[in-house]
Structure 1
Amino acid sequence: MEYRKISSVDDPYFAKMHQLMGEVFPPEEVLSFELWREPLQDPTIQVYVAVLDGEVVGATEYRYRSELRVAMTDFTIIGRSGLGIGRYLLTEREKHLRQLEEESGTKSLGMFAEIYDPAADETSSLSFGSVAPMHPAVRREVLSHLGFKKLDLEYVHPSWDHEGKAVRGLDFCFRPADESQDSLPSELPAKFLRWYYSALPNKPREWDEMMGRLESADRVALLPI
């Protein structure tokens, strides 16, 4: 298996990755093909695919914000069962993130992730393809094993289709480098989310209200998932 960086929509492996995204994620979670052109040129956005026999069998997108000392895993896609793709992507991503930390001269506080809540009505009606590991309940338990905890807030985010819809059914989570940590200063996720969604000009009222509550708090609790 090969861990290959994608830096252009003109890379033939990008088309295969985008097709795979459309097969496993709801439409409002998938940025359209051409809108990927500019983000892929951003050196802070890391997009890698797992290639086996010329086919994209998995993918992951992540980033490290050295000024905030936090990482974010945007998505992880497993295209086939029984090949160890999830473990392979995790191992390669973690090695690269340690490299990014060293290059910036910082030590990470942890990693953010948006994680589907399989019990939410918004999630239960969605289809995530035919690959069993992509089922929200499976993915959530795996991420719990890895140390992710959910922030204690009613989470909503703007839709990636640029229509400004409020997307629910997910928790905003964090894997602290210090496993004993049970809260975060609210300023940290607030700053990160302001930056992360700055690429989407259309934001729903629900998102603005959530951000207002978060920014008015001192700390936000980290709860089990």
Structure 2
Amino acid sequence: MYGYVIGIINTDKIFYDKKTSVIIIEAEFILKRDYMKQNHHSLAYKRQKQPNKTYKDLKQKQKMKIADQMFRETCSYYKENGEMPTEEAAREITERIYKKLESQAVWVPFDEVYQAYLLKMPRYEIRIRENGIPEEKPAKEKKPDLPKKKRGSNNKICPECGRKMKQQFIGLQHCKCGMSWKKDIGYFERTGDMVFALERRKTGKKTKQCPVIRYR
């Protein structure tokens, strides 16, 4: 058995083993690990913890999202029917919104959301009559899935022999044929007196290591 014991139930069955001189207790243990297994983010736990939660108890961000859904649903209904939602339609709209809340594990009683919607409806009506129904934003076009660049695929191609160059430092690559590439000067031919090193340079608050060419 693993975990910390935080309680014992049914300790009425106690036996004594003569061979080992050990007292055996048949018991059911409540382990701390089992207690910790409870999902404190689940809807059931939240209902149990705050059964009388009100709409005002929701976080400001949650209330803003719900209000946005309510207004969009109202605009959609007004666009189709030319009038504000009836009492029956308002309940149906609230049910749709409430299902979304449940899927996001947001707990608040249904009646709280329904009453909040009924209170907001007169304001939504004034808003729609004064400003009209807002135009829906066009859906963003999905960018085509481009193949991911493999590691090392940024190596330059040698203009002389066509082989891939090998990186010595960031911003400095070499080819076997004697050609090199440096970020600030581009392609060049190596000579025997060249030595390649890193030099620390300060750019603002950051210190970077930049490749440099030195001569013997």
Asked if these proteins are the same fold (TM beyond 0.5), I'd say no
Q: Give me the TM-score of the superposition, normalised by structure 2.
A: 0.18
Of structures 1 and 2, the one scoring higher in RCO (CA 8 A, sep 6+) is 1
Q: Give me the TM-score of the superposition, normalised by structure 1.
A: 0.18
